[in-house]
Amino acid sequence: MKRNELVDYYLEKKLNDGYDFSMIKEELKEKHELSGSELSEIVDLIANAELSHTKFNLNKSHGFILFTIALGVIAIVYSIYGISMSFKAEAVKMSSLSQTLNYLCLLGGVYVVFRNVKKLRG
């Protein structure tokens, strides 16, 4: 296996299967017959990849996702109100640009809500 493949494989083992660094070192020595310098480099790469993975997962804050979902819902409600006002005969005449912006706001709100619900689910 190449170095990148080893790092990816053992990072997955560490994150999902509960491997620790001593188990990874033993397996790298036995299965892949790595020397001391190569072994320490690969273990360092695994540690760095684990750290960046942890930082990435911490950045996916549920509060921020819920906030953006709320903004999407507000955009949807605003655009539905604007669209409904454009259909009333007594309402102020709306230009075609205003009507187009209402539809774009509706589509954008729906996109934001669905994208963030997908993030929230994982």
Is the domain of 10 the same as that of 42? yes
- CA distances (Å), origin 73, targets 11, 69, 119: 38, 6, 16
What is the C-alpha separation between 116 and 122, in angstroms, rounded?
10
Q: What is the pLDDT of residues 52-88, one digit of tens each?
A: 776 666 556 778 888 999 999 999 999 998 888 877 7
- CA distances (Å), origin 1, targets 8, 10, 28, 108: 11, 12, 11, 45
pTM attached to this predicted model: 0.49
Answer yes or no: are the C-beta atoms of 29 and 39 closer than 8 Å: yes
Q: Domain range for residue 92?
A: 62-121
Q: What is the pLDDT of residues 3-37, one digit of tens each?
A: 778 888 888 888 788 778 888 888 888 887 777 78
Is the domain of 33 the same as that of 75? no
Is the domain of 78 the same as that of 51? no
Residue with tokens 């006002």: 85
